Amino acid sequence: MFFLPTKNCKEYRLEGRLVGHKNTINCLAVSRNGSLLASGGSDGTRIWDLKQQLQLPSPRQNVALRNPANSMTCVCWITRQDATHETLCYGTRLGFIGIWQQQGEGKEITCLTYDHAGDDTRIATGTWDKHVQVWSFDFKGPLILIFSIKLSTTIPCTINFNHTASRDLLVFGMYDGEVHALWGTDGAIIATNNAGPLIGHASVDITQTLFLIDNVTNGFSLHQLDDAVCITTYNTNPVKTFLKQVVFGEKTDIVVGGSDTGVVYVFDKNEGNLKQVSRHANKTRVQVVTVRHFHSWLFKCLTDCKTYDGTYHSIIVGAMSQDDTELIISVWSRQRNNLETPRPFGRALKNFVRGIVQLVITMVLIAYNLWEISGETWLDHTSPQMMTSVSGWSSILNTEGTWQEIQMKIGYVLGKERPEY
């Protein structure tokens, strides 16, 4: 540390002055390893790097803590023996307690996700210095580190939990195009595949069998998750190689992605054709997009829907990432009665089964009517074997319980065993 003298000295020596506070300073605390200083006062809490004599970026404080009357009165560092990073705790004049915890080594967090199973919530982060970390969060206190690893060449651009009991991780590399599968317990690499030279952003479908990437060069591409083989490419003819987000929409039926020309593209995932181009702005980058679909009763704030009626709303949100233009966010919405649009094969199968059932019922009714009208004459000209057959069939048709059983079986086959399309 800069403040530790290199040789014995009788007096303390001034090492530097830290300038930044604009009002009274009420409390100071140095971290256990001597690398960080926390200072609090009437204008908030600040964290300093003592080695470089620089103020570090700190979390934005909420409105209550930014109140001039709610100055910081005391501060301390909390460090557990098994923790890799220290936690800052501070108190205020109006009785608030604040807790800050640093993630990683102060490098940029490039991706973030979470997984919730039972009472256990986990948060995973990827950082610019190639670290992947998983934390446990109980909504009551600081994050508890489960594991932290450093990848050899991969800078994570997207991280995703595998929704299994092992809670493994999928990590997508930005500049090497690698897709790593990591153990959920210790972060050891299970397998590695390559999806291309660059990955601007990645998104995994809800079944966790496919993933999308912004391949940076010609648009977006759809890959198999198990081996990273490319299935389809959605060409957008980008002019410049900016990183852009791409996501699945409408239960993975569509592909939504940004552009370097001020528009948001919407593709049909299966057909690969361009469905819609939505204009966000003129000649600017749209690098940030997100989507969501939900029942109409959750959409009161944007529509006139008042009650739940079984319809869905899908929204697409896009934003630009240039600070030299007007910073706006665009929101597009679409209403659908049912997100699960029937496929052609499903309709054909449904019509075929319905036709067979109607034909059988018609034949049964015709035979029954013929037996009722001229049953004796018909039976007289029929062999004994046929009489037995017709008589047996007639008895089945006239047995109410048996007919109800046949109806139940048909309904079971049509209503429960046939997959929804």
Cβ pair 328, 295 in contact under 8 A? no
Indicate yes or no: pTM above 0.75: no
User: CA 74 to CA 53: how far, in whole Å?
Assistant: 22
pLDDT tens for 56-85 read 877 766 555 556 677 888 888 887 665 566
Average pLDDT, the chain: 76
Binning pLDDT at 50, 70 and 90, where does residue 20 land? Answer: confident
Q: What is the mean pLDDT of residues 374-395?
A: 36
Per-residue pLDDT for 272 more than 90? yes
Structure tokens at 33: 């390893």
Q: What is the mean pLDDT of residues 10-31?
A: 81
User: CA 330 to CA 414: how far, in whole Å?
Assistant: 44
Q: How many Å from the N-terminal Cα to the C-terminal Cα in the chain? A: 66
Give the model's pLDDT for residue 34.
Answer: 82
Q: Is the dihedral of CA 35, 39, 43, 45 positive or negative?
A: positive
Binning pLDDT at 50, 70 and 90, where does residue 238 land? Answer: confident
Place of tokens 């446990």: 136
Give the model's pLDDT for residue 356.
Answer: 83
Domain boundaries, the chain: 25-101, 109-336, 344-417
Hey, is 362 helix, strand or coil? helix
* Amino acid identity for residue 323 in this structure: D
Cβ pair 214, 200 in contact under 8 A? yes
Give the model's pLDDT for residue 181.
Answer: 96
CATH number assigned to the domain covering 109-336: 2.130.10.10
Q: Find the radius of gyration of the CA atoms of the chain.
A: 33
Nearest Cα to 245, choosing from 207, 205, 212, 280?
Answer: 212
User: CA 47 to CA 51: how far, in whole Å?
Assistant: 12
Per-residue pLDDT for 50 more than 90? no
Give the model's pLDDT for residue 113.
Answer: 93
Give the chain's length.
Answer: 421
Give the model's pLDDT for residue 147.
Answer: 93
Nearest Cα to 421, choosing from 355, 345, 357, 354?
Answer: 345
Strands (E), 104-245: 109-117, 120-127, 131-137, 144-150, 156-161, 169-173, 178-182, 189-194, 202-204, 210-214, 219-224, 230-235
* Percent of the chain's residues with pLDDT above 70: 70
pLDDT tens for 276-328 read 999 988 878 888 888 886 655 444 444 433 333 456 678 888 887 766 566 77
> Cβ atoms within 10 A of the Cβ of 69, count?
8
Binning pLDDT at 50, 70 and 90, where does residue 251 land? Answer: confident
